[in-house]
Amino acid sequence: MENNRQKKIASVLQHDLVDVLQSSATQGGLRGIIISVTKVNVTVDLSVAKVYLSIFPNEKGKELLEGIRSNASLIKHEVSQRTKHQLRRMPELEFFIDDSLEYIDQIERSLKGLDNPLENPNLLEKRKKK
């Protein structure tokens, strides 16, 4: 259960990360790519922020996630410049793909009879706990 301080910091980070990530993608010449920050979880000691990203189109997700992870220190610096009046200490940023929309889409397809997981059990992968 997150306390109010964690929620506040997560909200500030989420807002600024959206701007930083989307503008970096645009400046990097990646047109037509939408990066949204679906959730930010901050640890109790406020030292780590887990950032969940939704990337459209999905097929670019893994590639972009690698790029984002390799530039995590630059992203952290950029966000810390924006939040310096709100945060005393900038948490380390860990990035993950938020696959919940994709998972919901798979379930909807199954419910509509488009993909039947009973005939092909591999359609719905087991979700990994994060």
Question: Is 71 found in the same domain as 46?
Answer: yes
SS3 54: strand
Supply the pLDDT for residue 127: 61
What is the Cα–Cα distance from 109 to 121, expressed in whole angstroms? 14
| Domain identity same for 84 and 113 | no
Stated pTM of the model: 0.75
**In terms of domains, do 111 and 66 share one?**
no
Kindly state whether residues 88 and 117 are assigned to the same domain.
no
CATH of the domain at 78: 3.30.300.20
- Average pLDDT score over residue span 14-27: 87
Better pLDDT: 52 or 101: 52
pLDDT in tens, 53-101: 988 887 878 888 998 999 999 999 999 999 888 888 899 999 999 877 7
**24-41, pLDDT tens digit by residue?**
877 777 777 888 899 999
Tell me which residue range forms the domain holding 77: 4-98
**Percent of the chain scoring above 90 in pLDDT:** 43
Residue 18 to residue 84: CA distance in whole angstroms: 17
107 plus 51 within the same structural domain: no
Per-residue model confidence (pLDDT) at position 93: 96
Tell me, yes or no, whether 112 and 78 share the same domain.
no
Two tokens, residue 113: 């009879």
Q: How confident is the model at residue 17 (pLDDT cuts 50, 70, 90)?
A: very high
